[in-house]
Amino acid sequence: DTAVSQTPKYLVTQMGNDKSIKCEQNLGHDTMYWYKQDSKKFLKIMFSYNNKELIINETVPNRFSPKSPDKAHLNLHINSLELGDSAVYFCASSQDVLAVQFFGPGTRLTVL
Residues that bind another protein (CB under 8 A): 4, 31, 40-45, 48, 56, 90, 92, 94, 97-106, 108
Query: How far apart are CB 88 and another protein at their closest, in Å?
Result: 9
CA-based end-to-end distance of the chain: 34
- Of 75 and 104, nearer to another protein (C-beta) is 104
Query: How far apart are CB 16 and another protein at their closest, in Å?
Result: 27
- Of 15 and 54, nearer to another protein (C-beta) is 54
| Cα gap 20→40, rounded to integer Å | 23
